[in-house]
Structure 1
Amino acid sequence: MRVAVLGAGAVGTRLARQLVSTEQVSEVVLRDPNRSRLEDVARSLGEGAIADSSGLLEPLDADVVVLAGDPGAHDVLAARFLRANQHVVSVSDDLRDVRALLELDSEARERGRSVVVGAGFAPGLTCVLAAHGARRFDTVDEVHVAKVGTGGPACARQHHRALGRMALDWREGGWVQRPPMSGRELAWFPDPVGAQDCYRAALPDALLLVPAFPGVQRVTSRVAATRRDRLTARLPMLWPTHPEGGPGAVRVEIRGRRGCARDVAVFGVMDRPAVAAGAVAAVAAWWAAEGRLARHGAAGLAELAEPLPFLLELGRRGVRAAVFEGDAP
């Protein structure tokens, strides 16, 4: 199969590297507005990668197109390639992007194509963990997601914007907007990240998780923030970012019933967000092209991916999940 990757930043580069090393992928086509970076990345990947300097919206010869560039307008790109009868995978965690991409569901179903939405670290890996954890329950009542860390400069800028915008929770069967930076909660992530104060922000996780769990009563998402983050969230980003984001982690808590008893399951992953996001998007692209997703249409991985095989493949690529062992509160 031939896969195109639009965006050669931290996540796009890791994603392309994952695809080049995937046996089923014959060729990876890279596009990025920064031509110098595009050529450097393609050269580093070897013979399996091609640098294509065409515009992002120009036609592509590929089975799957992965949108790994800056958040914003992913729906425009997705619609362009969907109408060319290509599968699309987006790694964006921008609330507007995710909402607009989900609106492509009907068209994608009609065309027999998949639009995988939010196929990154969080959402993405967190969606697969939630689907896996839900198998332990007869009914799922609550899903709570928390994350720390960013995948690179574009991800850091999106993280900063999200902290200054209204959050979206699902509560008792309806959507509720919450003030940004509210709902402070101490979340425990896998070592060595440990405990972090997490807050509400404009995160899209609930949009992807609610359809996957009919009858769920509460779905929330939070992101770790420092004091500086909280003080400057409504201002332009004033400091330089790490080129690959450094270490990060995600945590997914599922609450529900098994028989007559209530129970809790907690899963976590510690990794560099760009590395984990690249692996998730690479597996999603491979599965979309081979028809291994649960259905056609636009949705998150909690709906589209069979969780255990997906997690096993990620583990083979070095992204491993941990489960909290202990008593439910």
Structure 2
Amino acid sequence: MSSILVLGGTGEMGSVAVTDLAQRTDHDIAIADPRVEDARALLRRLGRPEQVYRLDVSDDTRLVEVMAGHDLVLNTTLMRYTLAVTDAAIAARVHLVDLGSYYDDTLAQLERNAAAEEAGCRIVPGCGVAPGLTNVLAALGAGDLDHVTGVRMYSYITHPMYTSPGIVVTRFDASTGRSVILRDGSLVERPSFGDHETIEFAEPYGAQQVHLVPHPEVVTLPRYLDGVRDVVFKVGYPAEENNRIATLLSLGFDSDEPFDVDGHSISPRRFAAAYIGRRGLAPTERSANVKKVLVDGVAGGLDTTVRYDFAVENSGRSASATITGTVAAIAADMVTAPSAPGVRAPESALDPNDFLDRLAERGLEVSASKATE
């Protein structure tokens, strides 16, 4: 039994993780969050001791102090805190699992491997649904081949940006700046929200348009899967959501530069997140998070592709929150088991068969198939 601290444990994804850990493990669970009454109420409903810390995660000194009293920290806060929380975990000498960031921050986390080893910390970044489940499926597929050459990952997400303020920020971050692909063994930068193509997802989702996003799987998989020469990750949304994103970006709502309104200073991004994200999903609105992972290589002398399909649906709540929080809880529980310290991506740190067994125990099944040429 370990002591697990969940940063942001009252949020959409954090509360799912807290619930899963409380109901399925015997670990001690604590929450660090600005919303202390909500945190106490959540733990009370789950029949757990109300071990709660009031914490602003941007307070580095306080962050280390709170983390130091626990064995493992599960970070479910916003991506902009990823590196600060990673450094705090190393300073506090505690293990860390997070939901993932984009490729540049993930590379910076991997560069902290020596510091994590010296501190005796196991740090596993990117343990949500993507990155996270996608990495695990890539590793599983590679193990089913004699030689792996490429990994293609596709996501289709139906909930709109007005689901929550955090989704607004995520849509902006995923649709601006640069993304990377691995092409013939070299990383190539491409504009995010570009390189569109149509991908056939499992029924009932069918053909959907997808585009590049700055996901980290592209930079982690080549480190652990020998022979990989090509890796790509793309995401798609319904057409009306793509139109919303394009319109808001063209009007500059992704900008952090503040402007003045009647003597009040606010950035377009903060305004958009607060205003658009306040609506939320209606109780009857459906939400789906769909994944397709293709692992290419050779098996028995034949060109072979291993395919994985996975989908989660919800009504009135983001499907992404449900599956991301669940995957993070599974990963946190697995990382409490003794293993070598250091910073390792999920495809290296988590046993894929054990991981999928735990997912299946929760009624979440991954469909697998294999095709040869």
TM-score by length of structure 1 reads 0.90
How far apart, in 1, do the equivalents of 2:359 and 2:49 lie? 21
What's the offset of the Cα at 1:45? 3.0
Match of 1:160 in 2: 172
The yes-or-no answer on 1:143 pairing with 2:155 is no
Instruction: List per-residue Cα deviations over 1:123-181 (Å, max 9, x = no partner).
Output: 10111111111111111101011112269642452133211221111112211101122
How far apart, in 2, do the equivalents of 1:43 and 1:216 lie? 47
What's the offset of the Cα at 1:36? 4.8
Amino acid at match of 1:133: G
Q: Secondary structure at the match of 2:70?
A: coil
How far apart, in 2, do the equivalents of 1:37 and 1:95 lie? 33
Match of 1:6 in 2: 7
How far apart, in 1, do the equivalents of 2:197 and 2:129 lie? 20
From 315, 320, 329, the equivalent of 2:360 is 315
* Contact 1:199–1:223, Cα closer than 8 Å, also in 2: yes
Amino acid at match of 1:264: T
What's the offset of the Cα at 1:194? 3.3
How far apart, in 2, do the equivalents of 1:315 and 1:152 lie? 28
Match of 1:285 in 2: 332
Q: Secondary structure at the match of 1:183?
A: coil
Instruction: List per-residue Cα deviations over 1:96-143 (Å, max 9, x = no partner).
Output: 432222222111222332111100010101111111111111111010
Match of 2:25 in 1: 23
Amino acid at match of 1:259: G
* Contact 2:17–2:328, Cα closer than 8 Å, also in 1: yes
How far apart, in 2, do the equivalents of 1:41 and 1:194 lie? 38
Alignment CA distance shift 1:152-1:192 (3 Å):
farther
Contiguous gaps of at least 5 residues in structure 2: 58-62, 254-268, 313-318
Match of 1:228 in 2: 243
Bigger mean CA deviation after superposition, 43-52 or 63-72: 43-52
* Contact 1:94–1:158, Cα closer than 8 Å, also in 2: no
* Contact 1:189–1:270, Cα closer than 8 Å, also in 2: no
The yes-or-no answer on 1:274 pairing with 2:276 is no
The yes-or-no answer on 1:252 pairing with 2:293 is yes
TM-score by length of structure 2 reads 0.80
Q: Secondary structure at the match of 1:247?
A: strand
What's the offset of the Cα at 1:218? 0.4
Alignment CA distance shift 1:311-1:41 (3 Å):
same
Contiguous gaps of at least 5 residues in structure 1: none
Match of 2:55 in 1: 54
* Contact 2:82–2:101, Cα closer than 8 Å, also in 1: no
How far apart, in 1, do the equivalents of 2:224 and 2:164 lie? 29
What's the offset of the Cα at 1:246? 2.6
The yes-or-no answer on 1:134 pairing with 2:146 is no
Bigger mean CA deviation after superposition, 275-284 or 235-244: 235-244
Q: Secondary structure at the match of 1:21?
A: helix
Residues 21-170 of structure 1 mapped to structure 2, 5 A cutoff: 21-25=23-27, 27-56=28-57, 57=63, 58-60=65-67, 61-149=69-157, 153-170=165-182
What's the offset of the Cα at 1:33? 2.5
Amino acid at match of 1:20: A
Q: Count residues in correspondence.
A: 325
Bigger mean CA deviation after superposition, 88-97 or 31-40: 31-40
